[in-house]
């Protein structure tokens, strides 16, 4: 096989350290053409096995995001400004558990969890502080929020309006993937059917009001963290994606009106070769599903664009500095696999929230990959690798088999209700645990190369007084606001939820009137109820 250079890339060639040329694109001999079965194709072309863009990182690197948020909006705002100063290209917001579950900080169920795993956001007042001094027309913001995703998106839009930023200038992503919550994570609120209706309303609202926003990040990351294998991760994620597309189409939307704004979220493990194969297989499967099942004509509807986070589950509390190496390897796997954006975990996250220094080191890891290595010099570094192409085929076949089983059960929701995905992931997690316990799977510092005594480490701690501070802010808010306006807006929201009108418009009115996240979610709970999980079979 000889290599050739596609003409449009000639002006982008780079040289190696030895002064030898590194071509932007390598491939089969020009006379033989690209392989006829369309398993590879050119970068940026169907079925996107080799990447979703023709130039990938040879033009510019991936978006470097850092997932951050803790305590109060004031503290998180300071961390965001620091990350931007350090070179972060996009913000990624972590919310605390009460916010993720649609409860206010002063709700009894929120006790002990306020500000612990993310920032506490109770109302427009908190959102205003969270993004104070951060121009929303200049940053791209990803929000890891699912069941209450519509609320946080609307609060973001309201803050943008206060800054004078038109909604069509807002860019970012809401995770908004509630199906994986039933499978692997548990921060659901409503049953599946009204949850899917809410997602369809978000798709319609964003098409009309916030056209550059990525309306969903269909997530395999949390399944992987729960123990899913790479094949399970992409199989169940893509099955969820199919369910979302079917829901939107059934609601009357044309697939090409919303599919270009779909995105995905995967993990990157230390097993570089299989991770690269996983990403390639996922792109190929999704492209075919969108073109063949849904008739998507716009190439952007067929692209599987994804964010990656390094594997938190592989971080160890023992010898935590070793995690710096793990994260670098995982980040490299994501880059070689063609990710569109990346978050690298901090080395101390197995112990507590990352410190300023560890968060900066995590970002520097990405910057070294982007600017000190040569992996960005060519579009598809693994093109033509016998092992990668074979592993891609094998991961694809395994994923398609699992997706076929989900289809046989009637789709992702029916399979969830039968506990299929959860049961399969638990089997995989049990196997991994057995292999680790027996020493067959080596974990450095845990079951091999251990220390008799660990070095002391001082982690970052969240002040427990935050809960009382948030309760005081809520009391002040309720005393100051126009309660009649809030009551009227919440009544209109319940009316829309009972019918077929898009719930985001009255929801936005309620949030503008300073209704709280908990109050809005409670209004929907009254109409839609809450989800009670079934036991796996």
Q: 97-119, pLDDT tens digit by residue?
A: 999 999 999 999 999 999 998 99
Residue 22 has φ and ψ, to the nearest 5°, of -115, 115
User: Residue 107: CB partners within 8 Å, gap ≥ 6?
Assistant: 98, 518
Among 1.10.10.10, 3.40.50.300, 3.40.50.620, 3.20.20.240, what is the CATH number of 56-438? 3.20.20.240
Whether residue 260 contacts residue 300, with contact meaning beta carbons closer than 8 Å, is answered with: yes
Q: Comparing C-alpha atoms, which of 365, 318, 347, 367 is closest to residue 460?
A: 347
Q: Comparing C-alpha atoms, which of 251, 249, 246, 221 is closest to residue 236?
A: 221
Residue 240 has φ and ψ, to the nearest 5°, of -65, -40
Q: Is the pLDDT of residue 29 over 70?
A: no
Give 7's pLDDT tier (boundaries 50, 70, 90): very low
pLDDT the model gives residue 69? 80
Q: Average of pLDDT values for 279-298?
A: 98
DSSP annotation of 292: I
Q: Average of pLDDT values for 56-84?
A: 89
Domain assignments of the chain as residue spans, ordered by start: 56-438
pTM of the model: 0.90
Estimate the crossing angle of helix 149-163 against helix 192-209, to 10 degrees.
20
For 436-475, b/e burial (b = at least 16 CB within 10 A) is eeeeeeebebbbeeeeeeeeeeeebebeeebbebbbebbe
Give 518's pLDDT tier (boundaries 50, 70, 90): very high
Instruction: Compute the mean pLDDT over every residue in the chain, rounded to the nearest whole number.
Output: 92
Q: Is the pLDDT of residue 35 over 90?
A: no
Q: pLDDT (tens digit, 9 = 90+) per residue, 108-154?
A: 999 999 999 899 999 999 999 999 999 999 999 999 999 999 999 99
User: Does residue 407 or residue 20 have the better pLDDT?
Assistant: 407
Give 296's pLDDT tier (boundaries 50, 70, 90): very high
Chain centroid, CA 249 distance in Å: 23
Q: DSSP readout, 197-238? A: HHHHHHHHHHHHH-TTEE-EEEE-HHHHHTT--HHHHHHHHH
Beta strands 14-15; 171-174: pairing state: unpaired
User: Does residue 522 or residue 3 have the better pLDDT?
Assistant: 522
Q: pLDDT (tens digit, 9 = 90+) per residue, 163-212?
A: 999 999 999 999 999 999 999 989 999 999 999 999 999 999 999 999 99
Q: Comparing C-alpha atoms, which of 495, 422, 474 is closest to residue 110?
A: 474
Please tell me the total number of residues recorded for the chain in this structure.
537
265 vs 214, 334, 532, CA distance in Å? 12, 11, 26
Element (H, E) at 267: strand 262-268
Q: pLDDT (tens digit, 9 = 90+) per residue, 355-367?
A: 889 989 999 999 9
- Cα(204)–Cα(76) distance, integer angstroms: 31
Peptide bond into 47 cis (omega under 30): yes
For 41-64, b/e burial (b = at least 16 CB within 10 A) is bbbbbbbbbbbbbbbbbbeebbbb
User: Does residue 21 or residue 230 have the better pLDDT?
Assistant: 230
Segment 11-18 long-range contacts (CB within 8 Å, at least 24 positions apart): 12/55, 12/58, 12/59, 14/58, 14/374, 14/377, 16/374, 16/377, 17/374
User: Residue 224: CB partners within 8 Å, gap ≥ 6?
Assistant: 230, 233, 266, 267, 269, 311, 313
Residue 119 has φ and ψ, to the nearest 5°, of -85, 145
- Cα(402)–Cα(474) distance, integer angstroms: 47
Q: pLDDT (tens digit, 9 = 90+) per residue, 220-252?
A: 999 999 999 999 999 999 999 999 999 999 999
Q: Average of pLDDT values for 448-465?
A: 82
Whether residue 64 contacts residue 342, with contact meaning beta carbons closer than 8 Å, is answered with: yes
Q: To the nearest 5 percent, what fractions of the chain are helix, strand and coil? A: 50, 10, 40
81 vs 77, 87, 115, 359, 460, CA distance in Å? 6, 10, 19, 13, 18
pLDDT the model gives residue 15? 81
60: left (phi over 0), alpha (psi -120 to 50) or beta: beta
pLDDT the model gives residue 299? 97
Only one residue has tokens 């040289």, namely 15
- Cα(49)–Cα(86) distance, integer angstroms: 33
- Cα(232)–Cα(151) distance, integer angstroms: 31
- Cα(444)–Cα(433) distance, integer angstroms: 15
Coil, helix or strand for 140? strand
User: Does residue 68 or residue 325 have the better pLDDT?
Assistant: 325
User: Residue 324: CB partners within 8 Å, gap ≥ 6?
Assistant: 347, 361, 365
Only one residue has tokens 């270009």, namely 260
pLDDT the model gives residue 12? 57
Q: Is the pLDDT of residue 8 over 60?
A: no
Q: Is the pLDDT of residue 17 over 70?
A: yes
Whether residue 64 contacts residue 87, with contact meaning beta carbons closer than 8 Å, is answered with: yes
Q: Average of pLDDT values for 390-417?
A: 96
Q: Is the pLDDT of residue 30 over 70?
A: no
User: Residue 204: CB partners within 8 Å, gap ≥ 6?
Assistant: 251, 253, 502
Beta carbons within 10 angstroms of residue 504's beta carbon: 23
């Amino acid at each position: 096989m000889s290599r050739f250079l596609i003409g449009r890339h000639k002006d982008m060639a780079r040289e190696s350290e030895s002064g030898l040329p590194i071509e932007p694109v390598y491939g089969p001999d020009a006379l033989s053409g690209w392989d006829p079965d369309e398993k590879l194709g050119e970068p940026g072309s169907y079925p996107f096995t080799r990447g979703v863009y023709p130039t990938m990182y040879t033009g510019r690197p991936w978006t470097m995001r850092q997932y951050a948020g803790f305590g109060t909006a004031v503290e998180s705002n300071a961390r965001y400004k620091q990350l931007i100063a350090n070179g972060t290209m996009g913000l990624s917001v972590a919310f605390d558990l009460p916010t993720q579950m649609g409860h206010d900080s002063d709700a009894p169920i929120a006790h002990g969890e306020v500000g612990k795993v993310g920032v506490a956001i109770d109302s427009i007042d908190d959102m205003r502080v969270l993004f104070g001094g951060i121009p929303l027309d200049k940053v791209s913001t990803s929000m890891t929020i699912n069941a209450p995703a519509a609320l946080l998106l609307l609060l973001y839009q309201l803050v943008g309006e206060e800054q004078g930023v038109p909604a069509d200038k807002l860019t970012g992503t809401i995770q908004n993937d509630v199906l994986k919550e039933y499978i692997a994570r548990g921060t659901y609120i409503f049953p599946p059917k009204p949850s899917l209706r809410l997602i369809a309303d978000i798709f319609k609202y964003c098409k009309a009001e916030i056209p550059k926003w990525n309306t969903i990040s269909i997530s395999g990351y949390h399944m992987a963290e729960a123990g899913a294998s790479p094949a399970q991760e992409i199989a169940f994620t893509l099955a969820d994606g199919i369910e979302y597309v079917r829901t939107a189409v059934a609601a009357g939307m044309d697939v090409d009106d919303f599919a270009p704004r779909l995105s995905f979220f995967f993990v990157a493990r230390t097993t570089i070769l299989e991770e690269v194969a996983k990403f390639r297989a996922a792109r190929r499967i999704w492209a075919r599903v969108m073109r063949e099942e849904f008739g998507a004509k716009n190439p952007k509807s067929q692209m599987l664009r994804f964010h990656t986070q390094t594997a938190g589950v592989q971080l160890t509390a023992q010898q935590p500095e070793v995690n710096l190496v793990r994260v670098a390897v995982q980040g490299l796997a994501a880059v070689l696999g063609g990710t569109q954006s990346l978050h690298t975990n901090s080395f101390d996250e197995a112990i507590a929230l990352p410190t300023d220094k560890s968060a900066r080191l995590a970002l520097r890891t990405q910057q070294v990959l982007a600017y000190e290595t040569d992996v960005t010099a060519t579009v598809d570094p693994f093109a033509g690798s016998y092992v990668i192409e074979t592993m891609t085929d094998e991961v694809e076949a395994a994923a398609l088999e699992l997706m076929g089983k989900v289809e046989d059960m009637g789709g992702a929701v029916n399979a969830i209700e039968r506990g299929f995905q959860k049961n399969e992931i638990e089997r995989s997690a049990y196997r991994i645990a057995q292999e680790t316990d027996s020493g067959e799977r080596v974990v450095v510092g845990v079951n091999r190369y251990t220390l008799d005594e660990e070095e002391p480490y001082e982690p970052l701690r969240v002040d427990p007084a935050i809960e009382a501070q948030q309760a005081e802010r809520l009391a002040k808010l309720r005393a100051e606001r126009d309660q009649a306006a809030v009551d009227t807006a919440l009544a209109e929201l319940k009316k829309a939820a009972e019918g077929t009108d898009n719930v985001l418009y009255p929801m936005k009115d309620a949030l503008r009137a300073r209704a709280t996240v908990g109050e809005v979610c409670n209004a929907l709970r009254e109409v839609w109820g809450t989800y009670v999980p079934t036991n796996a079979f």
